[in-house]
């Protein structure tokens, strides 16, 4: 099943008899708040114009729990997540399409969370809102209450210990920028570096200049070069489980299943007892 959709195909489906539920998840990582500047406000962006029929979903409040020892974007309470999805009109038997402002990270987090909790048909708008050539709307829809109830999968998610083990027995990819992996800079978390044994694989290299994913064959070649074989158990982490979801999505485009360490570096690095590797060497 496809995990991404083009803007052209989305426009066609939205004009059909059974259009997909459309979720706007505009968000971006920002350190502006710490610097005293206004943080990015996805809800304001949504109010200024969104794809007609789209419902806004707040990543920080509805796709993540309260920041703490489990990371900056830990799993949300699944009861609260399910209620948020039902308010947004998500039905278990109706397709869902999610989009963001173009980076793809926030949309991928929504995609991963819905898929991991049992929704069978979720896709990401490839290229996000910038790829949409149609009109935008400022009208806020009032969708019918959905019926989706989260039922988490036994697979597809890693905790800290499982991520550490996978770095030794399989392939654990670090989706952050290379300089953060190497520990040269760390603008957000307690310390820089990476989980010992993890491989640097910035998710920004999975897309082209237009923000759209590279063709599936190119992605397969990229991941193969990183050591991701068909029979290799694969996991991904990032800073807080957002850009890592985008890499899991890229792997899915390539036809490769992968699990997400949701707590990611923000959880791992918060514990001074956990080992930290620095430099380009995985170990």
Question: How far apart are alpha carbons 262 and 71 in whole angstroms?
Answer: 8
How much is the mean pLDDT over the chain? Answer: 94
pLDDT reading at 34 higher than 50: no
Q: How confident is the model at residue 37 (pLDDT cuts 50, 70, 90)?
A: very low
Q: What is the pLDDT of residue 231?
A: 81
Q: Helix (H, G, I), strand (E, B), or coil: what is residue 213?
A: strand
For residue 106, the cross-strand partners are none
Q: Give all domains of the chain, ordered by start, each with its CATH number.
A: 4-131 (3.40.250.10), 157-268 (3.40.250.10)
Q: Helix (H, G, I), strand (E, B), or coil: what is residue 96?
A: strand
Q: How many CB atoms lie within 10 A of CB 15?
A: 8
pLDDT digits (tens, 9 = 90+) for 206-219: 999 999 999 999 99
Q: How many CB atoms lie within 10 A of CB 52?
A: 14
Which positions are catalytic? 238
Question: How far apart are alpha carbons 175 and 247 in whole angstroms?
Answer: 6
Tell me if 60 sits within 8 A of 73, measured CB to CB.
Answer: yes
Question: How far apart are alpha carbons 154 and 199 in whole angstroms?
Answer: 25
Q: Helix (H, G, I), strand (E, B), or coil: what is residue 194?
A: strand
For residues 203-216, one letter each, b for 16 or more C-beta atoms within 10 angstroms of the residue's C-beta and e for the rest, the string is bbebbeeebbbbee
pLDDT reading at 274 higher than 70: yes
Length in residues, the chain? 283
The H-or-E segment that residue 201 falls in is: none
pTM of the model: 0.95
pLDDT reading at 135 higher than 70: yes
How far is CA 35 from its chain centroid? 25
CA distances from 21 to 31, 80, 97, 122 (A): 32, 19, 6, 9
Q: How confident is the model at residue 39 (pLDDT cuts 50, 70, 90)?
A: low
Tell me if 259 sits within 8 A of 156, measured CB to CB.
Answer: yes
Residues 6+ apart with CB under 8 A from 19: 13, 53
**Residue from 128, 136, 125, 135 nearest 6 by CA:** 125
Q: What is the pLDDT of residue 35?
A: 45
pLDDT reading at 82 higher than 60: yes
Q: How confident is the model at residue 29 (pLDDT cuts 50, 70, 90)?
A: confident
Beta strands 259-261 and 96-99: pairing type?
unpaired
């Amino acid at each position: 099943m496809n995990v991404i959709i083009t803007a052209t195909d989305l426009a066609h489906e939205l004009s059909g008899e059974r259009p997909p539920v459309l979720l706007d998840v505009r968000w971006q990582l920002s350190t502006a708040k710490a610097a005293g500047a206004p943080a990015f406000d996805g809800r304001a962006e949504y109010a200024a114009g969104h794809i007609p029929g789209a419902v806004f979903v707040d990543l920080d409040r509805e796709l993540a729990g309260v920041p703490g020892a489990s990371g900056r974007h830990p799993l949300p309470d699944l009861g609260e997540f399910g209620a948020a999805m039902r308010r947004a009109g998500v039905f278990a038997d109706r397709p869902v399409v999610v989009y963001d402002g173009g980076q793809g990270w926030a949309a991928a987090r929504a995609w991963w969370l819905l898929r991991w909790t049992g929704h069978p048909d979720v896709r990401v708008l490839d290229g996000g809102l910038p790829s949409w050539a149609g009109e935008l709307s400022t009208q806020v829809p009032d969708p019918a209450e959905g019926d989706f109830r989260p039922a988490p999968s036994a697979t597809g998610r890693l905790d800290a210990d499982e991520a550490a083990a996978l770095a030794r027995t399989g392939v654990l990819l670090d989706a952050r920028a290379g300089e953060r992996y190497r520990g040269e800079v760390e603008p957000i978390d307690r310390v820089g570096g990476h989980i010992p044994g993890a491989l640097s694989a910035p998710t920004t290299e999975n897309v082209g200049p237009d923000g759209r994913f590279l063709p599936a064959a190119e992605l397969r070649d990229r991941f193969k070069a990183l050591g991701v074989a068909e029979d290799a158990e694969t996991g991904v982490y990032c800073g807080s489980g957002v850009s890592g979801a985008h890499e899991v999505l890229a792997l899915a485009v390539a036809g490769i299943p992968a699990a997400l360490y949701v707590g990611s570096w923000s959880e791992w690095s918060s514990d001074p007892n956990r080992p930290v590797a620095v430099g380009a060497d995985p170990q």
